[in-house]
Structures are given as C-alpha cells and as structure tokens.
Amino acid sequence: GENVEQHPSTLSVQEGDSAVIKCTYSDSASNYFPWYKQELGKRPQLIIDIRSNVGEKKDQRIAVTLNKTAKHFSLHITETQPEDSAVYFCAASSGGGADGLTFGKGTHLIIQP
Amino acid sequence: DSGVTQTPKHLITATGQRVTLRCSPRSGDLSVYWYQQSLDQGLQFLIQYYNGEERAKGNILERFSAQQFPDLHSELNLSSLELGDSALYFCASSVRLAAYNEQFFGPGTRLTVL
C-alpha cells in the first residue's frame, strides 16, 4: 500500500518568514495530493490540493509543488501569520481522493511573534 | 462548519464494551469515509462506503465494522474495546466517485476507553 513520509515533524518560524513542509510518497499510481490544516481539537480542513497532471498550484500565500519523478510534494507558506500556527498534514490518493487518503504524520507549525 | 455531523462528541467507556459512532454526510454526498486519529498512529483511513455499499478498506480491525444506511448516514461499530482504541474518530464525506474529490471532515468523536 501507499506510504507517505512527512518532514519536519515540528517547524518554528518567525512571523513574516516562509515555511516549507515536504512529503514523499511510495505508490507511483497516486494522483491526488491534498494538504489539510488541523487546529487543536478541531477537524482537518483542506487548504490546497494538487493533481498529478500539474506541477505547481498557488492560492494567495500558499503554494504546493509536485515532482512525480522523485515522488515528492511540498507545501510553501509565505508571509506567515500567527493564525497559520497549526498541524499540517499531507496526504496521497490513487483514486483522485475518491478512495481513502493516506496521510503523513503531520508537521506542527509554530509561528513566533 | 463542513456540513458533516458526528455524534456523540465524546464517549467514555470501559474495556470489553461496544460502542456505535454516527455520522451524517453533507447534503448530496454519497461517499462516507471513516478515519482514526491517535498520537502514535496519526490519521489512518479505516473504511469507505459509497451509496450504501462498502467500497474500500484500510487499516480497520476485525473488531470494527461499519455500514451506510439508505438515508446515507453511516455508523461505525467498535466492539471488544481495548485501551489502545482510545482515539479521535473522524467521518468525512465527498460528493461522488469522480476524479479528484475533496473530502470534508466532521468534528470527530473522541473515544476514551478506561
């Protein structure tokens, strides 16, 4: 089955700086890669996703890049703000998200004022 | 609010017992997924139902079972509970089995097994 590795497990950045979280996956059939943000005690919420036929996608301060050859994808958050503090999860799916998602272990992002 | 509802919010029970968790998907969503979140295992996919039929299984134990009813709500049954079953259980839903579906998560049920 699919295996998703996520690094780092904790990331502390100064407010206003950029944050990068990296994930690798094992199943070359995976074709959908969502990123979820989870605040303490809350549900995971989708913040951005990318499909295997796209190399990069941007939404305001958030961007995701995908390298299918190397089987890795990354989340980039620019101009970080205090409300960006949360746990971020990457995930992969071979069914376009229409099947179960395989999640990474999560990255605890801490924004230092 | 994602539109996915889960009950109860919290559940405290003893080892060996059986519990049922309930999920109502977003209006119009046919697919329901169950996930377990624990500190050691992270977020793990358990099982998926689509329009009443089981579609995919993940790391679901034999002591656990699920079903989806004609009104599309779903129940996750956990039996012979062990301490290690203590976790946050999420239900998610998506609209259909098309290419590239966003899964919307419910607020979760926190299960504590004493």
Whether the pLDDT of residue A38 is over 60: the answer is yes
Chain A (50-89) residues lying within 8 Å, Cβ to Cβ, of chain B: 51, 89
**Chain B residues with CB-CB distance to A100 below 8 A:** 33, 35, 45-48, 56, 58
* Rounded-to-integer distance, Cα B55 and Cα B59, Å: 14
User: Which chain A residue's Cα is nearest to B47?
Assistant: A100
Q: CB of A34 within 8 Å of any CB in chain B?
A: yes
Which pLDDT score, from 0 to 100, does residue B99 have?
Answer: 56
Average pLDDT, chain A: 94
Average pLDDT, chain B: 93
Whether the pLDDT of residue B97 is over 80: the answer is no
Which pLDDT score, from 0 to 100, does residue B98 have?
Answer: 60
pLDDT band, very low/low/confident/very high, at B95 (cuts 50, 70, 90)? confident
